[in-house]
A and B are shown apart, each in its own frame.
Chain A
């Protein structure tokens, strides 16, 4: 490692691995290290032994889970890929699709007045849903027509609403939508985590609703995709891309210190060695003195032997519990996958219940979600801090990624990747065609 690199990347989370791959493809000399002996960082997927070691050290593994280590790939952070989102574009652009098979998540649900209901999106579903009355269905239909016909460059499609300036609240008011409908549009379709979006320009929420609907129309059952064998396949795939283009990988490598000279990064120290470099990209855990805590997420990883009730026995679902329904400020999310996704043995299901922490008793905040799960085999509850970099790295050449947030998909990861790429490379990431390939036959 006593060489000089263009970029040293610390941590093998998804953001770091995508950037490492993109930079290697461009011909940059990349060294990628991780203090752990596995890929994925905070977003790794663990087997049962690792899971108990991490969360319940010393505790006996239940009999029915023992001896199935090979079959368990339990995600620590719950995320799905939006079928028409930026993450899928990056996968296709880089050809990382070759390493991983994806499956649809079977259903998208939301919690309303004590029950869970399918999120209605198609015209047929809107007509059939029991969530709202007949008159409201007509209003919702005209809202959807407005959304689908809206064209920024054609004022005649705006119906007097310039989405760049009016708030989302004003748009709802124009269509005279009921609070229940707003709740499902804002939280179940636009996937807003709280209600602050109502007072922001409507374009943001419009884009999010369009993303949901386009993703939904792509494969049919839900807008979400999931990689077989767990989310950890994704950083591994991008790491392989990086390695194929010359990136050097070192797992289980102690990272002692980021070395500076005159306020700028000049290398990374590990034991007696210093690897020199021009720039460092890392996750917040490698630069704790240069990040600010911006919040906390509580997650419960749950192993069960049955699908979530009232989801038509779906092998995988997302359930959103909008904040208003349970007197909170932030929504509670449930993401569930099963043996059909090669993350656990046959007959088992893995769910993660999560929300942004609002009180001093975070585990209690998950209760509305836990209630929907019924009987469980075991659960692993943990709170993690969310960090944001204190500065943008352009002055010291240390570029820090954002922590995994509470969103249920990879879109904010992609925003961060593009933003970091621009700061590190000095130009926008363009994803036209495919990455250049070598001598493959």
Chain B
């Protein structure tokens, strides 16, 4: 994985592999802040909940591939247990966030892990992220405890800070390395190659290519 500039000719000619990534975690643990740090490399104190974004996108270059993360925020629908099945549908990656100063948020994170194991694509790659290590003085969740839980459940594990940027790019880099691309590509191929069906009868209601022209810069 590398930072990649606009003049990376080989990379810019490649068709990016789209990866749907969902964010989960209790309210106010910093889900949106982590994504904003990753996508725009910015941080705002007291950020209002995200309004008006269907999802954020960020490209990454990994070996000889370009990965385009399509990052879905819960839009607050998790607050009263009202996330739609559509949210998990076809997600290839998940970032589950807790706050290292709030033990209850780790317990909530564990219920999200269970929920994903029950509802989501069985090959989903999950990262557990303890946010707010900039507040380590108020730490209430020991590193070892969360790490042990993550190992037991085969999750990637990080402690990070959206405020300082510590470990944020690493979360997405390590996720990107673990995603079973061969499987995604094979699936896409199957869908498009059934005999007698033009692209399997799928239709494009709008010319979405216009939406895919966002800047070619990568952040990881």
Contacts and interface: CB of A to CB of B under 8 A. Distances in A.
Interface of A: 39, 83, 88, 91-92, 95, 97-104, 106, 219, 221, 225, 229, 232-233, 236-237, 239-241, 243-246, 248-253, 315, 340, 436-441
B82 A244 contact: no
Contact of A98 (B39, B54, B56): B54
Interface in B82-130: 82, 84-87, 89
B53 A440 contact: yes
A340 B201 contact: yes
A246 B51 contact: yes
B206 to A, nearest CB: 5
Given A236-B85, A251-B80, A103 B201 contact: yes
Interface string B184-207: 000000000000000011110110
Instruction: Rank and list the top 6 A-B pairs by shortest CB-CB distance, nearest first.
Output: A438-B52, A243-B75, A236-B84, A249-B82, A440-B53, A236-B86
A440 B36 CA distance: 11
Contacts of B57: 441
A88 B75 contact: no
Contacts of A441: 39-40, 56-57, 214
Given A244-B51, A438-B50, 19 more contacts: A39-B85, A99-B54, A103-B200, A219-B203, A229-B86, A240-B54, A240-B77, A240-B84, A240-B86, A243-B75, A245-B52, A248-B80, A249-B76, A250-B80, A251-B80, A315-B201, A438-B53, A440-B52, A441-B56
Contacts of B214: 441
Contacts of A243: 75-77
Contacts of A241: 54
Given A239-B84, A441-B40, A244 B203 contact: no
Contacts of B56: 440-441
Given A103-B202, A240-B75, A340-B201, A437 B84 contact: no
Contacts of A440: 52-56
B80 A253 contact: yes
16 contacts: A39-B85, A97-B208, A98-B55, A103-B203, A221-B201, A240-B75, A243-B75, A243-B76, A246-B51, A249-B79, A249-B82, A251-B81, A340-B200, A437-B53, A438-B50, A439-B50
Contact of A99 (B52, B76, B86): B86
B54 A249 contact: no
B22 to A, nearest CB: 12
B58 to A, nearest CB: 8
B27 to A, nearest CB: 12
Nearest to B49: A246
Contacts of B54: 95, 98-99, 240-241, 244, 437, 440
B52 A437 contact: yes
A245 B77 contact: no
Interface in B167-220: 200-203, 205-206, 208, 214
A44 B89 CA distance: 16
Interface residues of B, number: 32
A251 B210 CA distance: 35
Interface string B56-86: 1100000000000000010111011110111
Given A97-B206, A104-B201, A253-B80, A233 B86 contact: yes
B74 to A, nearest CB: 8
Interface in B108-167: none
Given A240-B84, A244-B75, A248-B76, A104 B203 contact: yes
B81 A439 contact: no
Contacts of A225: 203, 205
Contacts of A219: 203
Nearest to B52: A438
A439 B53 contact: yes
Nearest to B73: A244
B205 A91 contact: yes
A106 B49 CA distance: 42
A102 B205 contact: yes
Contacts of B53: 244, 437-440
Contact of B201 (A97, A106, A436): A106
A236 B85 CA distance: 8
Given A239-B84, A251-B81, A92 B203 contact: no
A180 B68 CA distance: 55
A253 B79 CA distance: 13
A230 to B, nearest CB: 10
Contacts of A245: 51-52
Interface string B24-63: 0000000000000001100000000111111111000000
B39 A101 contact: no
A101 B52 contact: no
Contacts of B81: 251-252
A253 B89 CA distance: 24
Nearest to A434: B206
B60 to A, nearest CB: 15
A440 B51 CA distance: 9
Contacts of A436: 52
B85 A92 contact: no
Contacts of B76: 243, 248-249
A249 B206 CA distance: 28
Nearest to B199: A103
Contacts of A97: 205-206, 208
A245 B53 CA distance: 8
A244 to B, nearest CB: 5
Which of B73, B203, B206 counts the most chain A CB atoms within 10 A?
A: B203
